[in-house]
Amino acid sequence: MVDGWLQRQGLERNIVARANSYRAALQLLEGTDFMLVLPRRIQTLLGNEPWISVFELPPDLPGFSLDMLWSAQADRDEASGWLREQVVKVCAERGLL
């Protein structure tokens, strides 16, 4: 998503590090001139450090969606169905749907 948008602007990312969580990514930023693009809800939860500067993204950057996918076998499994219901319930309670 971001790479395609940047390419249309004649730009490209220079990825210098990868992290397995937003918290770990934020920790990599301190003391550098690196930047991180993350959802506002994550920034609100984790990005309260005084050394973090927050900027709005360009308005023409496209949005995205997240989907749950599962196999036909998992569709018939009662425990898997319960777990999917819990994920949807928590996401709805937090305004993520």
**Per-residue confidence in pLDDT tens, the chain, 97 aa:** 788 888 999 999 999 999 999 989 999 988 999 988 888 888 888 878 888 888 888 888 887 778 899 999 999 999 999 999 999 999 888 877 7
Total number of residues shown for the chain: 97
Q: Are 26 and 46 in contact (CB under 8 A)?
A: yes
- Map out the domains of the chain as residue ranges: 1-64, 66-97
Rounded to two decimals, what is the model's pTM? Answer: 0.58
| pLDDT at 19 (0 to 100) | 93
Burial 45-83 (b: 16+ CB within 10 A, else e): ebbeeeeeeeeeeeeeeeeeeeeeeeeeeeeeeeeeeee
Q: What percent of the chain has pLDDT over 90?
A: 42
63-78 pLDDT per residue, tens: 777 889 999 999 999 9
| pLDDT at 52 (0 to 100) | 86
Per the listing, tokens 């169905």 go with 81
| pLDDT at 58 (0 to 100) | 85
